[in-house]
Amino acid sequence: MHLMKRPLDAVHGPIASADPGWRPTPGTQVTDRIQLGDFLRRRRESLRPEDLGLAPGTRRRTPGLRRDEVAAMASMSTAYYESLEQARGPQPSVAILGSIATALRLTPDERRHLYLLAGHAPPMPAEPPDYVDPGLSYTLDAVAATTPALISDDLSNVLAQNRLNVALFGTFADRPGHEKNLTWHWFTSAHWRSVLRSASPQEEVATSLLYVADLRATVTQRGHDPAAAALVSDLRAASAEFAEMWDQHRVSTLHCSTKSVFHERVGRLDLDCVVLASPLSRQRLLLLQPVRGTETTDRLSRLQLSISGERSTRVI
């Protein structure tokens, strides 16, 4: 007797070989198509018809919804949806994945997983204009007495600052337009670079490249939305340095090096920058921690005492 081998995680039914119509993004394997089919089937079987306003019926041979019910709710043919579950269909489009995710009542994490299995970048969640990530906001307040910090969105627009950050750099969060954007200030303001000094000219160039590479990655993740496109267009017009670096097409997530800040009240502050990204939003927390072995911790303490009489603990 001849036994046909099959992956342990394969969906029910025969598994087709690589299909010429399947064009996943780099890093997506044929096995991801198998996992995609398995994921769709298990999510479909986990739903109860009555939870979606469907009649339970008496002729269901398997748990959950039928394929034709999911296909109808996703506005596609049963044959097409079935081909996805059986790992033999073409690569689904972003629009089709959105319809399937809605039909299967997927959570945000499950939606992200679905897009990645299908070889697409997950769409970024939309956020209200005044939204500040609660977890990052809590941390911003928790470190307020010792650590200058701010919250920005993925385009580097400042959304909130604690008062040590405001004491060092002034208020950004309530400024209009690009005036609240850190990348904009880096490339258009000589004063900003004089305040946030790099250790060497080479490090200053490296910082510029990091800002550009991070913005390039963000623009792609956002799907070239109007806000991102406008920022890039305006930066190219305002800064020849930015335009030259943008054309290099470098991509990287934001991280920053040690900076020296000179404050009129307390003098030089040597600060390590730490970036914490939220898994639940597009936002990130930038912390400026004192460099060990320097007098920065004591000087920040003196700065904190000098502003302790101010009423507000943060600026949003």
pLDDT bucket at 90, cuts 50 / 70 / 90: confident
pLDDT, tens digit, 9 for 90 and up, residues 219-264: 888 877 899 999 999 999 999 999 999 999 999 888 777 888 989 8
Residue among 202, 206, 177, 207 nearest 192 (CA):
207
Q: Kindly report the backbone phi and psi dihedral angles of residue 286, in degrees, each rounded to the nearest multiple of 5, phi listed first.
A: -105, 115
Report the pLDDT value the prediction gives residue 257, as an integer from 0 to 100. 76
7/205: higher pLDDT: 205
Report the pLDDT value the prediction gives residue 124, as an integer from 0 to 100. 72
Give the range among 22-31, 92-101, 192-201 with minimum mean pLDDT. 22-31
Burial class (CB in 10 A: 0-12, 13-18, 19+), 83: middle
Q: Token digits for 269?
A: 């502050």
pLDDT, tens digit, 9 for 90 and up, residues 181-199: 999 999 999 999 888 888 7
State the average pLDDT over residues 38-62. Answer: 78
Token pair 């650590």 in the structure block, residue:
147
pLDDT, tens digit, 9 for 90 and up, residues 134-143: 999 999 999 9
What pTM value is reported for the model?
0.71
pLDDT bucket at 281, cuts 50 / 70 / 90: confident
Residue 257 identity (one-letter amino acid)? S
Domains and their CATH numbers in the chain? 30-117 (1.10.260.40), 134-315 (3.30.450.180)
State the average pLDDT over residues 279-285. Answer: 89
Residue partners of 230: CB distance under 8 A and separation at least 6: none
Residue 313 and residue 73: Cα distance in Å, rounded? 49
Question: Which parts of the chain fold into alpha helices (H)?
Answer: 30-46, 67-73, 78-85, 94-103, 108-117, 134-142, 163-169, 182-188, 190-195, 201-221, 226-238, 240-246, 296-306
pLDDT surpassing 80 at residue 85: yes
Q: Kindly report the backbone phi and psi dihedral angles of residue 268, in degrees, each rounded to the nearest multiple of 5, phi listed first.
A: -75, 135
pLDDT surpassing 70 at residue 22: no
pLDDT surpassing 70 at residue 289: yes
Residue partners of 213: CB distance under 8 A and separation at least 6: 250, 251, 252
Distance of CA 215 to the CA centre of its chain: 12
* DSSP classification of residue 157: B
pLDDT surpassing 60 at residue 82: yes
Task: Name the strands in the sheet holding 259-263, side by side, starting at the edge strand that comes first in the sequence.
Answer: 196-197, 259-263, 267-277, 284-290, 149-152, 158-162, 314-315
Token pair 């394929």 in the structure block, residue:
67
pLDDT surpassing 50 at residue 154: yes
Residue 232 and residue 215: Cα distance in Å, rounded? 8
pLDDT surpassing 50 at residue 5: no
Q: What is the mean pLDDT of the chain?
A: 84
pLDDT bucket at 10, cuts 50 / 70 / 90: very low
